[in-house]
Each structure stands twice: as structure tokens, then as C-alpha cells.
Structure 1
Amino acid sequence: MADNKPINWSYPFPSRDTNSSPLQLLINMASAKGGHYPTGENGLWHGGVHFDEGTATLFDQTSVRCMADGEVIAYRIDDRYPVSEFTDEIPRVKRAPFSTGFVLVKHSLQPPPLRNADGSIAEGQTPPALTLYSLYMHLLDWAGYQTQPDLPRPAFWEAKRYTVNTQNQGLSVRAHPSRGAAKLSELPKGTEITIGRAEGDFSKLVSLISGTAQPALPADDEGQLPGYVSTGFLKPHSEPADYDKVVVLDSGLPIKAGDLIGHPGLYQNHDSAAQHMVHVELFSCDDVPTFIAQSRAWASRLPDDQQTLLRVYKRASKLIAHRDDINTENPPRLSDHGTQIGVDLMIPQALLDGLPASRKIQVKTAADSGTFHWWRLDGLFADANGNPIDGWLAEQELITTRHSPWEWEGFQCVEETGTAVEKLAYSLDARRLLSTEEQQNYRAQINKADGGPILTLARLHDIVDTNKDGTLSSREIRAALAKPWQAQLLGQLITRYESEWFWEKSKWDELDPLLEEEPGTPNLIWNAEKQRIEKLSWWKALEDQLGVIVSGKAWHFQPIAAVSTFLHASRLIDVERFLDAYISQHEHFEKNTPAMSTLSKGNLRTIVEAINRHYKSDLGKANLFELSYMFATARHEAYHFPTGEFFSSKPEVGNIAYFNKYDPVLAITQEHRDRAIGHGNTQSGDGYKYRGRGLVHLTWKNNYRKAKEHFGVDFVNQPDKAAEPEYSVPIMIWGMKEGVFTGRKLNHYINASGVNYDEARRTINGTDQQQLIASYAKKFEIILRETSSAKETFAP
């Protein structure tokens, strides 16, 4: 990444609950019917996770989205799903479809660059890099797209046909690629065609798929039609380059986080009904342990604002149960009775930032040297006996610690060496499916699997033995995934093992004796399953190409845990890059604007850092346009950031008499007095007391009262707090997004139907200066596109 810009990340399926935290999303994966990480229902290695009917109520599984910026390097689309024929004991043949369709995307993961004291990027120091691959398996077949013609298609497919997409009239066919060239014919709107080479704004017409040229066009000896058409009036219909085979894209096609990968396909096992299901995987063929060591060293040099993870240690902190009298004016005390936390847990800052205002309390330290944080956390912790506990957690120096995601705190690299036959024998034994003779025959393999690294780790962290039988079953893995601390532990395993998409016949044949119905009698279902495994495999079509190594072995990451880590690895806005971009464009914002002072730059830095803390990004869906308009509003209301007064208790205008028009007693006109009383200013002096403060000039006692109720801070009796940056920024975000000031919300003017910066001014007070502020928003939009992870997306 030449520009040292971190890549963006997104979940493959958005949560149906937009308030879900990263830890909740991890827990949700326990609802999958099968396909958990790192072992599947059959006890065999499983390098990814399944999104299936079990998770469909928790995630919007309409379409599959790319997990990170990268490039598509390979894909396969079934023309029609292949079918396995399983013969049961009756005998009866069951035809089970299974999608082999997949997309493979290549990514580059790097920590952010180091910066000098002035914010510039330190030269000559390159962050360590890791090549990652994301895999999306079991996608919709081509027949499925044909039966749903309006279904969106991936952009990386080839455009093989086009529809004339003019407004009313048809599309002219010109003798040459020029608007002034002679007109040969006209294609009616909706005509389907194929085209050839592009020449400027025109493309060579090749053939008509449907529709009729008027007049008709004569084809040449090769069946091609004469003439050129304007490419801008053609709607492309993309299709796969080929079907039922791996398409390798040597140069790769760029794709962004959140872009369409495809749609869930059908998959049916021999013992279940067909369901829509997608297997998602994230892996690397690089030396991951070395990269992590380098990343940890690099993270030690990053600034503190990169420490977006809070680590809580078992037997170090306690939770204080919530009481009705606990609030910002009466926070918990460290001396209060509480329950000792009995588990380790890493809490993302995104989870803490997303807590309601009533569940986070900040207390100034006695020496006023900083802020002490209390977080009310429910459903995350357990005591030493595994019993769930809720309550207030204190963030304490030395007791809790802060970490950058680039430290990989808690992650463990495990090289799994067990064979498939060892793992299957162990699993069958754990489920009491082996005969006495089989137990004796496979005792060595069972014992070897029992001492493997994953089982050893699971026992160490009490993940095994819920039924006290000494073994780890898929049921116990699933139960562990429903507990935040155990789901996170399994999610932080990075395991090296041979990919299940790497076909090696001997490995699977080794299972034949174990799966025989009786000695000497082949298992027909297993034979059909082996044929399916071979059909699903794709690794050897890419081995030794594009970084995919020959051995088939790779380091696998739990996809949801990894995306959560990377998605929140850096703040929403890169503060230094934002400031650099703003300063470079400052002179273009307004003519005759003086150079930005050190004070005003500091003010803007404070605002950006506070927005990073308080703007809720909806799990990767931070809205570019909302942020742009908020910055534009702050720029206007805070007088272009030139002074610190909007953070102070001083009046914005020197003459206190200016505020008399907001006063119920001192106002000159009855209209002003009535307006003041209507907004809650009932006593003499309320006009000045509840004057405009902060980035949106919070005004009127009623609005100060609303802010008190929402944030739990007594702005009514301490109105100057509304001018403090820790409150003025969240007040702006809350007020504009929730329609607090005028009843109009930002999403009334910024939504999937369009973006209207002019009318968005109505979220504050009306239409004053609306065009000027809209012009600011457009310029902030340009800056944010280059310096933030905000996207042109809208929460569902």
C-alpha cells in the first residue's frame, strides 16, 4: 500500500440488530447448525464458519459481502448445482444438491504508519505486511441468477451483453465512433446487444440478442453487424467468464469491503434437508507467527489513541451490581461491594462507545489529572464458578490494560498436526459410536488426538467436559461459543492445518475402514461423500500461483473475530491525515480566510478525536455524508475553529445584552418572550444561562433538560458542561441524528434516496446560511473520502 492507508473491513453479512457489538456477533455464530471453528460436527478440522438457517434470524443473509479491500483472484460458478446420490439402507437413492461455487479474494494487511511529532509520516520505516485470502464458498449457481433476472450480479464478472438504456428514444447506430458520423440505424430501448472494442465514448456493435434494428442492419461474412453505439447508453449484464471450472484472474480485479461477492447457494448433506448456506474463511500462506511478532514490535511505537482494546483479567477486577442511585452525580466507588471477575476478556472500544449514555460514567480524578471511567456491562462476564455476573466495571491503571489490535493480545498460533483419521476416531468415540473392537483398534489414534494442541488448550480453559466424560464433543464446542469469554478464546486461535479444499485422495481413503458399515463392506454414503469432497476442492487449480502454496497448508483465522479486530483496529477518521488534508484545502474553503492557527488546529483535532470516540459507526457503516454535514455544521457554528471560545464558559458574543431576546423577562418584544417561555426559559437570566454552547449551539432550557435526560449529566444546573468537547461533540451527533432540536433528523435529508445538504440545515434551526454550509459539507466529503473508513452506505 503505497499511500500507507489501512484497508477497510466489513462483515460478510450485516447483523439484523444494528446495535450488536463485536462480541455479540461472535456469540451469534453459535447458532449455526454446523460448521463451527476450529472443528466441525464430525470432529474434523474446519477452517471457517457457516452462515446457514441457524444464523438467518441474526444476520441479513440476502447477499454475501466482501470482508476487506482487495482483489478478486479466482472464482467458480456452477452452471447448475451438482448432485450427490446417497444410497441408504432401504436401499433408496437421495439426490442432494451442493454448491461448489466460490470466490477467493486477496488482501494485504498492514498496521498504520509511524508518524513524526508534527503528524507527518516517518520516512524509511515500512510497516510489516501480511497477505490474507478471504474465501466465500457455496454460492448461488448460474441457473439461480437466470430465474431471478433482477438479482444484483458481482461487478467482477465479465459484461457479456448490454441493454439499450435510453430515456425515451432509441439509440443511434453510427457509421463511425463519432456523434457526427452518419446514422445507419436505431436500436429501440430495451434491445439486447453484444459489443466489441471501445473507441472513446463509443463501442463497436457486434450482434443483436433481442430486438430489431430500424432499419435492419446487414451482417458481414462473420455475422458481425456494422456501426458503433454510444457506450454511455448501455446497461451491462455481467456473467461469469466460464461455468463449472475455476476461473483464475492473474492480474486480479479490485474489490472494496462491503462490495457484492454473490448470493448464498444450496447445500444438502446426506442426513438433512437442503438449505441456503455459505462457508466463509480467512487464511494466510505467509509466516503468520513472524508477522505477529513484527506487528507487536511495531505496535509498541504507535500512539496511545491506537489502543482501542480494553483487557480485563480474571481475579483482578470486580463488577459492582447496579443500583438505582448510581448515576453521573453518584458514580460507583472502588470500595463498593462487588463480585470478582473469574474470566479473561478483551473488550473492543467499539462496544464501550456503543453503550447508552446511562451505562458509562466519567469521573474527574482528584488531582484533575485525567478521567476515570466506569462501564456498566451486562452479559459479558462470569465469576470464578462460571456463573454470569453483570454490573459496573472500573477501568483502572495496572488492573485493566489498554492494547492496540496490532499487538494481537490474546491471539495464539497453533500448528495442528493430527490426521483426519485421528480426529474422526476421537469424534466417533466421544459420541459413543465405536464398537469395543473399534475402540481397541483405534486407541492409538484416539489418544493422539486427545493430546492434540486444540484439546489441550480447551481443557486449560474449561471448554471441555460439560457432561464430565473427559472428551470434547461438537456439542460442547457449540456451548462454549455461546459464552463471550470462551467464544473469544476460540476466535483468537490462529491454526495451521491443511486446507479442506486441498484434495489428497489418500488422506480420505484412510478413513474407509473406520467408516465401513461392517468389515469388508464399503460405506456407500462415504464413497459418495468423497466424490463430493473432490468436486468441491479448488486449491490445486491455484497452487503456486498468486501466493497460494503447493502444500495446501495455511494459517486460518476465525473470520468474524478477525474482521472485528481489523474493523476496529484504527479510528473511524485518521486524525493526522484529516488535519493535513483540511489545512491543505483551507484556503479553498473561503476567500481571504487567514492561515489556520495553532489554536484552531488544536480545536479541530479535539473535535475529530471526539467524533472518533462518539460517532457510532453501526459496525462498519459509518455514513460519509452524515459526517461531512456534521463537520460542516461544526465549522459554521464554531466560527471556523479559530478560537477556543466554543469550548469555554464565556459568551460567544461579548455583549450579554445580546441574549436578552432569549429571556422571558428582559426580551423587548412579546414574540420573543413567548418564544422563550415556550422553550422552557421561565426565569429572568435564563436567556443568558441557556445560551448557545458547543458545536451546534445548544440553546433553550428545554434542550438542556433533554440533554440531561439523555446523557445523565446535569446540564440544567451546570450548563457550561455543554461547551466541553467531551460533551459538545456527542450533543451534536445525538441532536442531529435524533432530531432533538427541530424534530428533523439527518436521515430525513441523507438516506438511500439521495443526499440533500441544503435542506439538512433544518436539523439545526431552519434555512439560514444553508447553501454556505452545504458547500462546506461537499468539501469535507472530499477530505473524508481520503482520510476515513466512512462509506456511502446507509444502515438497513
Structure 2
Amino acid sequence: MAEHKPINWAYPFPSKDTSCTPLQLLTHMAQAKGGFYPTGENGLWHGGVHFDEGTAAAFDQSSVRCIADGEVIAYRIDDRYPVSEFTDDIPRVKRAPFSTGFVLVKHSLQPPPLKNTDGSIVEGQTPPSLTLYSLYMHLLDWAGYQAQANLPRPAFWETKRYTVNTQHDGLSVRAGPSKHTTKLSELSKGTEITIGSAEGEFSKLVSLISGTAQPALSADDEERLPGYVSTSLLKPHSEPAEYDKVVVLDSGVPIKAGDLIGHPGLYQNHNGAAQHMVHVELFSCDDVPAFIARSGAWASRLPDDQNTLLKVYKGASKLIAHREDISAENPPKLSDEGTLVGVDIIIPQALLDGLPASHKIQNTFPAGGRTPASTSSWWRLDGLFADENGNPIDGWLAEQELITTRHSPWEWEGFQCIEETGTPVEKLAYAFNARGLLSADEQHNYRAQISKADGGPIVTLARLYDIADTDNDGVLTSAEIQAALTRPWHAQVLGLLITKYESEWSWNKGKWDELDPLLAAVPGKPNQAWEAEKQRIERLSWWGDLAGRHKVSDDGIAWHISPMLIACSFMADRSFKFTLDIMKGIYPSLLPSRESDLAEIANELNSHLYLYKLDTTLRRTHFFAQILQETGPQLNVEEGFIYKAESLIQIFKYFRNNPKLAKAHGYDTHRGVKADGSRMSQEDFEAIANGAYGGRADLGNGEYSTGDGWKYRGRGLKQLTGRYNYEALTSWHNRLTKHWPAEKDVNFTEQPDLLLTMKYATRSAANFWISNRLYELADKGDCSETVDAITRIVNLNTDSYQARRANFERLWSAQILK
């Protein structure tokens, strides 16, 4: 059987607070202005979650990202947003835009294969699989992309043209697919072209859309231009195949977790203001309960290292309040006074791994007599638990055998599947009655529907009643459900519901017409706002275009799953850890005496893998493709200043103006040996650094005489250079003291040599990676263009683009960082 590769997961929008835990992200969804999971504010089922103005403070909502590896199977882009007309009470006509743009991605969810003791895969045993679909609704229209020319475009659109994207000069047109062939012409920067097939690092030039070629090129009989151009120096511009129409792709286009889906579109309800919003949904048309049963049975045969979820039970564990004297040397004791945990909660290992080092204590007890060796784990957890009265409690939790339990995500621990048995009119009548919106006559007329909904699947769940019906009046309101979402232990319970019903994207006129009497302002008179809303529902629908294709059901019925909860659970399934062997694979020629440095880098990265945005193979590979070039194969975390005298004059303005100093401090013909026969000294190195970086306003360095060039020379894994950058690192480091509380007020500006230690050398590189959002570029893929895009931010004018691409190719092909 072929090696199975589990799919990666990501959040559709990254958190603005990099220290935010997965369970805290669930509670942020309570800030949405509407569109909660599993029901909306109207009491009807709602299969997804909304990211809108309410959640914008918590998430970076500038662009929408794919939540898991898969393939794009359909999309629709509005040419311009359609507009609904509503008449208000004045009366006045309100024109409300609403985006119908969406992308649908198909995924395959499958547990890892079983393995023999020697690591080989057990033959003849195929893991169960589930087909999932993620939906991203209400995306930016085409007019929005045209108005923002530099806005990135999804890769699954058709690429129709390219722009010459050189830094300074134009782009050479070569006679063949090699830089060593004859130069036929040069395309000016910004020229738009179309290209044909790729050959190595070059592509065949086809046509010139705009811009100039000098000298001019003559097309052949088929109107194709001669020559080849370097693909890496072209910026692609893709466009949808069609507008205002569902585009179904016969062969899905591969997409990875974190890849660009699109951008938030505009949506306005009849009773609100227009806002940018995206609806994200996850569903399956398979038999989900049957899959969960098979997956759970499969999980029981997986090794213990797959148990990446820690379950804490109500009334079983206690939290011990933090004291100043608690440390690794003086851990809490089970006999200490504490508060009994009053809620059930499942904690992903990713959350535990992401805790600051000061919040994790592990004590190893050696074997003695008949007692085997054991490890005691304590976690300081804040903002996750409540006592039996629902009051939040913080403190230290012990992981205890038989008291807490470990689970694999493939067990689907705590999930509940419920099937819809009612109709929209029953749920809407129930919701209206709960909010006190029905008259006595309406309550009488709809009492059958209200009663039926009151006995329906969602409200018969005692746990849901317990957590949401805060006023104990026997009815659930959307406000109560929203309030429940603010508490992680309740938000998780709501997210563990898997619900089956007809999708809101499957147009069924009769189902919505049934609501007409209930929504009529005056009996017998149509509600114009509702009539306009039904027209919207029809235009928003797309299911009919997919029905029966790509395994999408014909009847529009599907199982709906919380997208944030599932991402939270399965991102915890990543058990990657940097090891000494992995680090030696990155630096294969490093001297054995430096292995302790590699181990220190590994420890630092493992402690903050998610904070540093190095939580996928692709991100880690791009990160080290750059770091390798910055440090060299011998892991130099300090910039060297051994320069030939003529190179100093050629590279640095200061030495061009002071050639005598270049000859006095640079080497002659033998590396490290000057013209007078003496070897380069510390004085020479400092003089070169001060000449190279002194007086650089962009770096914040003082003039040559201040010594800032030497003081703020390149250090760390990323070769941090310049006063401004050292100040920025200091500010960043001190903002994140919750991750390293014992290291408050560290000042790299005053102590720049701290970056010569592996811990701080690593943190400085992580800061640059995060601050410049290079992880988002890394998510774009494993092509040379992505490596070049990152290189341009790391070191724009370097001559090492090819070397960095080679670093990436070596690490990626060997899957060292998998």
C-alpha cells in the first residue's frame, strides 16, 4: 500500500495574537455580528461561521485561506455584486449589495495507516476515509480586484498574462531556454506578455500585450513571438474563467492548507449596514456516523503517539492556584489545596506545546525496586476551566492516569451526530416565540410547530440546554447561544455537534414559501423584505450546479461540521519535533563539536513551534532555505568581515570615497592576509563594519566614528543588522514575555551580543519571519518563484537567489522537515 500522507490544516484567517490558543480562537467566534454554529440568530440551522466586522479585532481578515489540503472543484465570482432593493418604514428604497462569490474545496480525511514494529505499513489494511467539502462564501467581486491591481489572486484561476517583474533593468529575451543563448531583445519592466510551455527555468514567449521590446520582435505566421524568458522574473496575473456563473472544474485544482482562496466580499442585510464578511462552512455528503465508528475502531490500533488530545473530566481533576514558589524545582503536589474542575473539556496537544516554558513542568521519577520509572506532567492553564458553579478558574493541572485520559483525534471523542427531523417554519416559529415576537393569536396558530421544534433534536440535548438556557425559561435564544460561545468549555460542546439537514445553498422554493405567513407584517399581505430575501437565497444557491458531481449529493442534504473545531482538533495531530538528526540533516557538514548548538536551536523551535509559524513542512523548509544561506553550512551566527580591498571599494560607498582605508583594512591576494603581509585583525574587522554600516540612516546607525556599524553588525540565524532592527527585536521580545517570563526587559540594543547565543539567534530569525509575514508567502507553494519572493524580502539585492532555491530543493526533496 502506498504511503499515506495526512492532510494539513490551517485556520481561514490567522489570529492577530500569535499567543492565542486554539480554544481561545473558538471563543472569538462569539464576536461575530451574526452567523454562529450550529444555529443562526433566526433560530434556523447555520452550517458555518461568519468572519465579519465583529471578529476583525481578533483575526487578520485581509485574505481568506484554505483550511486543509484538497482540490478546488467549483467557484463563482461576481462581476459586480448583485443588489437587493428593500423598502423601509419611511418609506425609502435601500439598495443592499450581497456577494454570491464562493469557492468550494474537496478534501479527503483519512487516519494514518497501521505500521509493523519495523516501521513498515501493514499490507491489506486500508484506513477508512471521509470526503469533506469546505465552502468559502461571500467573496470579493471582480470589480474589487480591478480596483486593487496589486491584490494577490487565487492560483486556481486561469493564468492569462504575466508582467515583467525585474527589480531594475528589463528582462532579456533569449534565443533558447538558457541564459547562455543569444539575447534577441529586452522587455521593459512592467511589460505584459503571454507565455507558453516551460523548459527548465525559462518559458516560451508567445505575445506582447503591452509595453515594449527593444529591439522589436517579429511574430511568425501563427502570431507567436520568438524567444524565451526567465519564468522567475514574471509576475502571474490570473482571472476567473467566467463571471456571475458557477464554474465547475471537471478535474479539481490542487490546493494546500493556508493557500489563498480569495478576499472578503461585501454583504448587507435589509436591516443593517454593508460590511465585509465571509461565511466558512465544512460539510460531508458521506455517512458520517458510519465513518466515525470505523475511524474510532481504527484509532484503537494506532500507537500512543497519535493520542494528541487530553480530556479533563468534570468533578475528577482539580486546579491548584499558581504560587510564586512553584517552579520546575518545586512543582505543585496533588495534595495541595485546589478547586475541583466543574466542566468537561478536551485540550489539544498543540495548546500544551504552545504554553510558555514556565507553564510546563515535567518531573521524571527513576525506577525503584518494583516501581517503574515515571513522568509527572503539570500544565499551568488559564482561561479554560470553570468550577461547578460556572465561575472561571485558573491554575496548575496534573495529567493523571485514570483521572485524565488521552485520545486520538480519530476517535472523535465527544462528537455527537444529530439529524434534522423538522422544517424551517417549526424552528422559526420556535425562535420567534423564544424572543417574544409572536402575538397571542400567532402563538395559538403555531403552537403545533413550536411544540414540535421544542421536542426536536437540538433542544432535546440536555447538555445544550444546560449550557445555553441561562434564564431557565425552557427556550433557547440566539443570544444565549452566542453568550455560551464566549466560554471555551461551552464553545467546544457546541462545536462537537455534527448536524444533518438540507443545505441552505440548495434552492427549494417550497421550503421558503412556507415561511410567508409567519413573516407577513399584515395577515394576507406579502412581506416585501422577505420576498427580496427569497430572491437572494435563490441567487446565492449553487448546489444544483454540483449535484451528482464530485460526490456532492443530489438531494442537497449533508452533515455539517464546525470548521473551527475540526481544524483545532486535527492541527493538534501534528507531532513534528525538531531532533538532533533533523538539524544535522539541515547542516550535514557542521563539525561534531557544534552539535550542542544544533540541539539548542531545536529546543527553542520545539518550545514555540506554533508561535513561530513553523507548523507545516512547507513553512519549515522555506525558513531553513533562507537560514542556511544566512549562516552558511558552518552555522555562523556572526557576520564575517574578511573582504578583499578591491571588493570593499566596489561594494561600499564609504570605501569608494576612502580607498586608502579599503587598502589598509582589506586583504590582498591571500584570504586574510593584507598587502603588508600581516593578517587581518580585530581592528580591521571593526573598521570594515563601521565603514559598511556606519551612517546608514535606513538602519538607524550613527556615523563611522560612533562604532554603530560594528556594534549592530549582522548576528543571529538571520544576520540581524542595524540599530533599528535591534530596537525592533527588543520591543517584540518584551511584548511576548508571557512566553518567557523569566526573561523580562531583555535589551538587545544594549546587549547585542546576546544574539550570538543560539536561543536568541533563533528568536531573532523567528521575529523576522513572523513580522514580515513570510509564512504567508511560504504557504503559496514549493516553486522557485515562492523562494525568490521570500528572498526579495530577506535580502533584496543579494546574488544568492539560485543558492537559496538550491537550499530549498535539497531540503524539500529529502523531506527532512516533514
Could you give the per-residue CA deviations for residues 171-210 of structure 1, whole angstroms, max 9, x where no partner exists? 5497x99999999976544333445677895546356356
Q: 2:685 corresponds to which residue?
A: none
Task: Determine if the alignment matches structure 1 residue 781 to structure 2 residue 817.
Answer: no
Q: 1:155 corresponds to which residue?
A: 155
Once the 2 structures are TM-superposed, how far is the Cα of residue 559 of structure 1 from its aligned partner?
A: 0.6
Could you give the per-residue CA deviations for residues 631-683 of structure 1, whole angstroms, max 9, x where no partner exists? 999x999xxxxxxxxxxxxxxxxxxxxxxxxxxxxxxxxxxxxxxxxxxxxxx
The percent identity for this pair of structures is 63
Q: 2:653 corresponds to which residue?
A: none
Contact preservation (8 Å) 1:573, 1:784: no
Task: Determine if the alignment matches structure 1 residue 319 to structure 2 residue 341.
Answer: no
- What SS does the aligned partner of 1:462 have? helix
Q: 1:117 corresponds to which residue?
A: 117
Once the 2 structures are TM-superposed, how far is the Cα of residue 755 of structure 1 from its aligned partner?
A: 6.9
Matches within 5 A, 1:132-281: 132-165=132-165, 168-169=169-170, 172=173, 187-194=187-194, 201-203=202-204, 205-206=206-207, 208-209=209-210, 215=216, 225-232=223-230, 234-281=234-281
Distance 2:177 2:791 in 1: 36
Once the 2 structures are TM-superposed, how far is the Cα of residue 271 of structure 1 from its aligned partner?
A: 0.6
Task: Determine if the alignment matches structure 1 residue 614 to structure 2 residue 607.
Answer: yes
- What SS does the aligned partner of 1:132 have? strand
Describe the shift of the 1:219–1:304 C-alpha distance in structure 2 as closer, same or farther (beyond 3 A): closer
Once the 2 structures are TM-superposed, how far is the Cα of residue 237 of structure 1 from its aligned partner?
A: 1.2
Contact preservation (8 Å) 1:178, 1:202: no
Q: 1:670 corresponds to which residue?
A: none
Once the 2 structures are TM-superposed, how far is the Cα of residue 361 of structure 1 from its aligned partner?
A: 1.9
Describe the shift of the 1:582–1:782 C-alpha distance in structure 2 as closer, same or farther (beyond 3 A): farther
Distance 1:363 1:178 in 2: 60
Task: Determine if the alignment matches structure 1 residue 508 to structure 2 residue 538.
Answer: no
Amino acid paired to 1:489: V
Distance 1:452 1:332 in 2: 47
Q: Which of these residues, 541, 547, 554, is aligned with residue 543 of structure 1?
A: 547
Distance 2:169 2:809 in 1: 35
Q: 1:657 corresponds to which residue?
A: none
Amino acid paired to 1:72: V
Describe the shift of the 1:270–1:165 C-alpha distance in structure 2 as closer, same or farther (beyond 3 A): same
Could you give the per-residue CA deviations for residues 120-164 of structure 1, whole angstroms, max 9, x where no partner exists? 222222211111111111000000000100011111111122334
Matches within 5 A, 1:275-290: 275-290=275-290
Return 5+ residue gaps in structure 1 as ranges: 594-599, 638-708, 714-731, 760-773, 789-796
Amino acid paired to 2:339: T
Matches within 5 A, 1:267-416: 267-365=267-365, 367=367, 369-416=373-420
Contact preservation (8 Å) 1:73, 1:248: yes
**TM-score, scaled to structure 2:** 0.73
Describe the shift of the 1:64–1:785 C-alpha distance in structure 2 as closer, same or farther (beyond 3 A): farther
Once the 2 structures are TM-superposed, how far is the Cα of residue 365 of structure 1 from its aligned partner?
A: 3.6
Distance 2:25 2:740 in 1: 26
Contact preservation (8 Å) 2:583, 2:598: no
Matches within 5 A, 1:358-507: 358-365=358-365, 367=367, 369-457=373-461, 459=463, 462-507=466-511
Once the 2 structures are TM-superposed, how far is the Cα of residue 109 of structure 1 from its aligned partner?
A: 1.0
Once the 2 structures are TM-superposed, how far is the Cα of residue 413 of structure 1 from its aligned partner?
A: 1.1
Task: Determine if the alignment matches structure 1 residue 569 to structure 2 residue 573.
Answer: yes
- What SS does the aligned partner of 1:74 have? strand
- What SS does the aligned partner of 1:453 have? coil
Between 293-302 and 112-121, report the one with greater CA deviation: 112-121
- What SS does the aligned partner of 1:466 have? coil
Distance 2:614 2:198 in 1: 36
Describe the shift of the 1:116–1:183 C-alpha distance in structure 2 as closer, same or farther (beyond 3 A): closer
Matches within 5 A, 1:626-705: none
Q: 1:560 corresponds to which residue?
A: 564
Task: Determine if the alignment matches structure 1 residue 624 to structure 2 residue 620.
Answer: yes
Q: 1:61 corresponds to which residue?
A: 61
Describe the shift of the 1:293–1:606 C-alpha distance in structure 2 as closer, same or farther (beyond 3 A): farther
Amino acid paired to 1:618: L
Contact preservation (8 Å) 1:378, 1:389: yes
Amino acid paired to 2:610: S
Contact preservation (8 Å) 1:177, 1:228: no
Across the aligned residues of Structure 1 and Structure 2, the Cα RMSD in angstroms comes to 4.2
Distance 2:153 2:430 in 1: 43
Distance 1:244 1:775 in 2: 40
Could you give the per-residue CA deviations for residues 550-573 of structure 1, whole angstroms, max 9, x where no partner exists? 011111111111111111113125
Distance 1:502 1:710 in 2: 47
Describe the shift of the 1:364–1:190 C-alpha distance in structure 2 as closer, same or farther (beyond 3 A): closer
Contact preservation (8 Å) 1:112, 1:127: yes
Distance 1:710 1:186 in 2: 52
Once the 2 structures are TM-superposed, how far is the Cα of residue 388 of structure 1 from its aligned partner?
A: 1.3
Aligned residues: 668
Distance 2:88 2:769 in 1: 60
Distance 1:412 1:504 in 2: 27
Return 5+ residue gaps in structure 2 as ranges: 636-737, 743-753, 775-788, 796-803
Describe the shift of the 1:216–1:627 C-alpha distance in structure 2 as closer, same or farther (beyond 3 A): closer
Task: Determine if the alignment matches structure 1 residue 107 to structure 2 residue 137.
Answer: no
Distance 1:321 1:464 in 2: 28
Describe the shift of the 1:100–1:614 C-alpha distance in structure 2 as closer, same or farther (beyond 3 A): same
**TM-score, scaled to structure 1:** 0.75
Amino acid paired to 1:74: A
Could you give the per-residue CA deviations for residues 430-489 of structure 1, whole angstroms, max 9, x where no partner exists? 111111111111111111111111112255551232233221000000000011111000
Once the 2 structures are TM-superposed, how far is the Cα of residue 533 of structure 1 from its aligned partner?
A: 0.5
Q: 1:658 corresponds to which residue?
A: none
- What SS does the aligned partner of 2:437 have? coil
Describe the shift of the 1:341–1:210 C-alpha distance in structure 2 as closer, same or farther (beyond 3 A): same
Contact preservation (8 Å) 1:319, 1:338: yes
Q: 1:706 corresponds to which residue?
A: none
Contact preservation (8 Å) 2:188, 2:211: no
Distance 1:441 1:735 in 2: 76
Between 271-280 and 197-206, report the one with greater CA deviation: 197-206
Distance 2:6 2:480 in 1: 38
- What SS does the aligned partner of 1:228 have? coil
Distance 2:567 2:348 in 1: 12
Could you give the per-residue CA deviations for residues 731-787 of structure 1, whole angstroms, max 9, x where no partner exists? x999635349xx96565699748679x99xxxxxxxxxxxxxx99987983477465
Distance 2:628 2:186 in 1: 49
- What SS does the aligned partner of 1:449 have? helix
